[in-house]
Each structure stands twice: as C-alpha cells, then as structure tokens.
Amino acid sequence: MTTTSRWRSARTYLGVALIVVWGLAPFYWMVVTAFRDLQFTFDPTPWPTHVTLDNFRTVFDTSRNHFGRSLLNSVFIGGVVTAIGLVVGVFTAYAMARLRFPGKNAILAVILAASMFPGVALVTPLFQLFRNIGWYGSYQAMIIPDISFVLPLTIYTLTAFFREMPWELEEAARIDGATKRQAFTKIMLPLAAPGVVTTAILAFIAAWNEFLIASQLSNDKSQPVTVAIASFNGTQPHVEPYTAVMAAGTVVTIPLILMVLAFQRRIVDGLTAGGVKG
Amino acid sequence: MTRKESGSTAPAPARRRLSRRRARGNSLDPHETRRALLLVAPALAVLALVIGYPVARAIWMSFQADQHVENGFFVQGGFAGLDNYKHWLLQRCGDVACPPGNTGSSFWEVVGITLFFTVVTVTIELVLGFWFATIMNGKFRGRSLVRAAVLIPWAIPTAVTAKLWYFIFSYDGIANTLFGAHVVWFGDKWAARSAIIVSDVWKTTPFMALLILAGLQLISEDVYEAAKVDGASAWQRFWAITVPLVKPAVVVALLFRTLDVLRMFDLPYIMTGGGAGDGNDTTTLSILVINESRNGFNSAAALSTLTFLLVFGVAFLFVKFLGANATGAEPKVKAKR
C-alpha cells in the first residue's frame, strides 16, 4: 500500500462518513425529539434524554387530531392510486418496451410532459368542479389528481425495467406452443415481478408524500397524513407542539424507511432507470 | 446496458440494432401497431381525463371574469378576454394599475423568488450531488449503509421534512445552538429563504447524487487507465472524460430537479406560509396560485396556466439546448456513444 492510495482511501471513508451523517443526522434528531418530554423540547443533548411515549399518545389522541384516521386515509389513497397506476401502466409499458409502432416517441413525450405537469394547475379547476358535483373532501377528489403524476411514473419506470428483460424467453415459449398471452402471463410476468414491485413502491411513496392537492381538496375526514402533520394541534395553546410533530413525522416515515431498507437496491435501480439507460 | 463495451469505438449497439431492424424488415407490422395502440389507449385515456380535461377547463376559466364589483353591484362572471392575464403580466386590475399589496402586483416578485430558489438550489445540489456521486463511486465497504442513508432524505415526505427543519431552525432549535447563533430564521427574508434552501438541498441532493452515480458507473475504468498511461492529470481526466461522459445523466437530473423546484410548494408553504414575518418573501408561484384561488378561481386559473407555460418553456429549453433525452426512448445513433 503506497501512502497515496492509503490517503485516498482515508479520504473516501471521510467522504462516506459525511454522506451518512448528511442523510441520517436530521432524521435521527427527529426520532430523538419524538421520544423527548415536551418540557425538554430544546434539550441539545445528542442522545435520547427525558424519554417518554407521551408524544405518541398526543399524536393518536382523537380528541385533538385525526392522525390515526389520516394514516388510514393515506394508506387507502396510496393503495388505490398505486393499483390504478400499475394496472394501466403495465400494458403501456409493455407496448413501449417491446413493440414497434408509429407515434411511439410522441406518446413517450406526452407521458413525460404529463409527469412534469405542475400539480397546482390541476387544483384550481378541480376544486371548483369537485365542489359543484359534491366530491370535495371525498377520496376520489384526491385519487383522481394523484393519478396524474403516478401513472407517468409507473409507465416510465416499468418501461425501463421491461427494456432490460430477457425477452428471448418469450419467443422460446411461443416456439413451444404458448400463445402470446400465455407467454406474457406465464413466463414474462413472473420475471417482471421485481420491476413491478419496485415500481409499486415508488408509486406508493409518491402518493403517500403528496401534499399540495390533498391540502386543497380534502377535509378533516379524508385528509392524508401529510396534511394532518402540517396542521397539527398540540396539548397547549400557543406552544408549538414540536415533540408531538416529530413523533407524528416518525410514525409517517417509519414505513417508508422500512421499505427503503428492504428494497434499497431496487429503489435506486428504479429511480435511475430511464434517466441514464438508453 | 452494453454502453461500457462500446465506450470508445464506433456505435456497436447501433450497428446491432440496424442489423436487427434489417432482419425484421423496415416496414411496421400492422398487427403489432394495432396491438400497441390498444395497449397504450387506456393510459392515454386516463391521462386525458386527469390532466387534459382539467387543463382545458383551467384555460377556459382563465378567460372568464371572477365575481367582481361594478357600479356598486356584484357582477357574476362573463367573458373577460385577456383581463386575467393582464392582471398578472401587466399588473392591471380592471382598467387601472393594481394597488400595492394586490396579488397582481406581486407576480413578477414571485416569479423572481421562484427562479431564485430554482437557480440556487439546483446549483448547490449539482455541485454537492456530483461530489457525493464521486465519493460513492469509489471503493469502500458498507455500500448498503450509504445507499440507505442517502435514500432516507429522499423517502421522507416533504411535509415532514418541512416540519423537521422548521424545528431545527426554530429560535431555540439545534441550528442556532450548534452555531451559537440567535437568528430568528422565519422572521427575516434572507434567513427564511436560506432555511428553505437548506431543507430542499438536504432532501433532494441524494436524488441528484444517485442519478449522477448511475451515469458515472457506466464509464469504464479502462478509459481512465488509458488516459493515465498517456499522462493525463486527475484534473484533466475529470474534465476530459468524466464530465463529457456523465453529461447525459447530469442533464436529465438537472431537468427533473429544475422542474421540481419551479413547482415548489410544500416546503415554503408549510415552513413560512409564503411570507417571512410579512409580505411574499418566500412565496413561490404555486403558493401564489393557491392564495389567489381564495380571491377568484378564474384569475387563479390564469396564473396556473402561466405557471405551467413557464415549466414547459424551461423543459423545452433544456431539451433544445442541453439535449436532454429524458424519455430514454429510441436514442438516435449520434446520441449513443
């Protein structure tokens, strides 16, 4: 080992340490605060002190907030949006990745343009429309606009995954006498499962994190967690309930962190799919 | 993909694709076309319903008048021509210039703030993201820990990010404690803007880094070795090899992030509500649309139309001048190195 290469590896590990601190420190601070007594909100001790579960009790106290309900709302909205995005997206992605047809690039451009569409441009017309037809505050009032960004995402990611698949197997199955439909459902779909699961996770996270549309089109009963957290009530008036908000943030983030830990490799593949792969 | 092997010489994959195409014949199979269109139709129909219809409605609304007072009476709607657009672009309220404090008179200020956030955050993210990506591209143990660490800011909902940094930047918060400062972060224009920029950079630099890293990983080690043999310095290798080869990935990452910040809403809305103490100091275009929809839906619709024209204009410039190939679709032979 020369000194230069040792120096270089030391520098790499220093950089790596910095990246890890970057990603984890604020999150760690949220979790530590979530377990801290309200009176010691601003205690700067870097490790857990004054540990209590009170904040979580405040979060789920139904007399003050609709947090528990909003969690279920988020699960429901995210689930439905993901399902619709996948079912509709999988066919399009197959055509995009596998078939040759006129206007393909134009359609891809349309889908991409759709994914860049500012959500705020949907809120104004939809707010009025949903008011008129009595859908304001309903689940479909959020599910429908959410599809506008989740569907392009699923098509985009699935197409990138499908392009990488060993499609020779499909032809092999066809030679063995399978119909095109059979070759797709029996051979290719199981092979595509990992890509589909990854896409589902990305879609669910996108829907779960949505705030703008929900903040305008939901009411107390239908609001998702993001809106609930942004308008959180504490135990005392005029005191920012930081610890309880951090507890709520922890609850909202934990399922995502678990997904990230379980599927990190695939999520990175999915995020970068299409972006760099021709 | 096979880009690694083809890194230096002529476009081998392109040649392969050409020969495949020749083998299959260059004409399109009408059955294949019909099947493809059937498969694509549902998605296009859904997009037309969830985007096309609202947009058409917004554009129609933007030419209608909001309820307003005329000669002491409330007047309901009616065709307004370009009045709503004049309200924003020219600060005209009816036949007179909008008074200060009116939403119309804040339009250009808000455009400026939105562009300011965009340029500053995207620039910082690009530099930091590139640096992170080069570190992650090195040889080290604990790759999965690093990957998980960078995915956490990305995965946390923006609403939670906003609340988390609002706490960090509170007066007695850890940011002031760590630096021994006594800044009222959300009471001052530039402090509030900085806090928002820091939060956004924290959350989205990992995404940038991952996209750039994916681009870096496509570059073969051989190219660097060859350059080293030829006596190129590390700095020369960076500018002559890394930068041009990673450019396509960087441009796509830049495009995505730029459009994201132009639409930014959650962070400033939750952290400051659009002001810092008073005024529109941290109001982005999206926030202005939402605020305006309380005054009148039709003028808000005009503003949202302007916002999406701005977003698409910027996207167009990216594709036109930086050659962003974000679709990843059927790259032309020249685009394939």
- In this prediction, residue B329 has a pLDDT band, given cuts at 50, 70 and 90, of very low
Q: What are the chain A neighbours of B58 within 8 Å (beta carbons)?
A: 121-122, 124-125
pLDDT score of B303 more than 50? yes
Half-sphere exposure of B213 (CA within 13 A, CB side): 24
- Domain extent at residue B277: 110-335
> What is the DSSP pairing of strand B73-75 with strand B68-70?
antiparallel
Q: Does B7 touch chain A (CB under 8 A)?
A: no
Task: Please report residues of A whose CB lies closer than 8 A to that of B148.
Answer: 23, 260-261, 264
Per the document, the length of chain B is 337
Residue B69 phi, psi (nearest 5): -95, 130
Could you give the CA distance from residue B138 to residue A232 in angstroms, rounded to a whole number? 43
Q: What share of chain B in percent tops pLDDT 70? A: 84
B306 in a domain, yes or no?
yes
**pLDDT, position A103:** 86
Interface test with A, best of B118, B125, B139, B160 (most A CBs within 10 A): B160
pLDDT surpasses 90 at B120: yes
Give the mutation candidate from B47, B207, B224 for the A interface (greatest A CB count, under 10 A): B47
Q: What is the pLDDT of residues B284-298, one digit of tens each?
A: 999 999 988 888 888
Report whether pLDDT(B12) > 50: no
Residues of chain B contacting A157 with CB distance shorter than 8 Å: none
Neighbours of B41 (CB within 10 A): 13
Residue B155 belongs to some domain of the structure? yes
Would an 8 Å CB–CB cutoff place A55 in contact with chain B? no
Handedness of CA B155, B160, B163, B168 (dihedral sign): negative
Residue B98 in any domain: the answer is no
pLDDT of residue B56: 92
Q: Determine the average pLDDT of the residues in B174-196.
A: 89
The model's pTM: 0.87
Put simply, the answer to whether A225 touches B132 (Cβ < 8 Å) is no
CATH 3.40.1190.20 fits A65-231, yes or no: no
Report the complex ipTM: 0.90
Does residue B296 belong to the interface with chain A, where contact is any CB pair within 8 Å?
no
Q: What is the mean pLDDT of residues B144-155?
A: 88
pLDDT tens readout for residues B35-76:
899 999 999 999 999 999 999 999 999 898 887 666 666 667
Q: Do B28 and A100 touch (CB under 8 A)?
A: yes
Report yes or no on B92 lying in a domain.
Answer: no
- How many angstroms away from the CA of A62 is the closest CA of chain B? 20
Q: What pLDDT is recorded for position B324? A: 66
Contacts of B306 in chain A (CB under 8 A): none
Asked whether residue B234 is domain-assigned, the answer is: yes
The per-residue pLDDT for range A183-199, each reduced to its tens digit, is 878 887 788 888 899 89
Within 8 A of B63 by CB-CB distance, chain A residues are none
Asked if residue B319 lies in contact with residue B305, where contact means CB atoms within 8 angstroms, the answer is no
B60 in any annotated domain: no
pLDDT reported for residue B308: 87
More confident residue, B134 or A8: B134
- Residues contacting residue B226 through CB under 8 Å, at least 6 positions apart: none
**Domain-wise residue ranges, chain A:** 65-231
pLDDT of residue B25: 52
Binary contact (B330, A105; C-beta < 8 A): yes
B262 or B233: whose pLDDT is higher? B262
Q: Is the pLDDT of residue B94 over 80?
A: no
Which residue from A27, A112, A209 is facing B327, i.e. has the nearest CB? A112
Residues 131-150 of A with CB under 8 A from B: 144-145, 147-148
Say yes or no to pLDDT of B147 above 90: no
Residues in chain A with CB shorter than 8 Å from the CB of B289 are: 120-121, 123-124
Tokens of A97: 């990745």
What pLDDT score was predicted for residue B337?
A: 34
pLDDT of residue A278: 34
Tell if the CB–CB gap between B152 and A257 is shorter than 8 Å.
yes
Phi and psi torsions of B183, nearest 5°: -90, 135
Angle between helices B53-62 and A120-132 (to 10 degrees): 90
Nearest to B156 among A27, A99, A117 (CB): A27
∠ CA A205-A119-B41 to the nearest 5 degrees? 80
| Mean per-residue pLDDT pooled into runs of 10, chain A (278 residues) | 74 90 93 91 87 89 84 95 95 89 87 85 89 91 93 91 84 86 82 88 92 92 92 72 92 88 84 57
Q: Please give, rounded to a whole number of angstroms, the shortest distance from the CA of B84 to a CA of chain A.
A: 14
* CATH number for the domain that contains residue B244: 1.10.3720.10
The tokens of A148 are what? Answer: 């506008």
B36 CA to chain A: closest CA distance, Å? Answer: 5
- B74 bridge partner residues: B69
Q: Is the pLDDT of residue B184 over 50?
A: yes
Q: What is the mean pLDDT of chain B?
A: 82
Q: Does A160 touch chain B (CB under 8 A)?
A: yes
Using CA atoms, how far apart are residues A178 and A190, in angstroms rounded to an integer?
15
The structural domain count of chain B equals 1
Among chain A residues, the shortest Cα distance to B299 is held by A124
| CB-based contact A162:A97 (threshold 8 Å) | yes
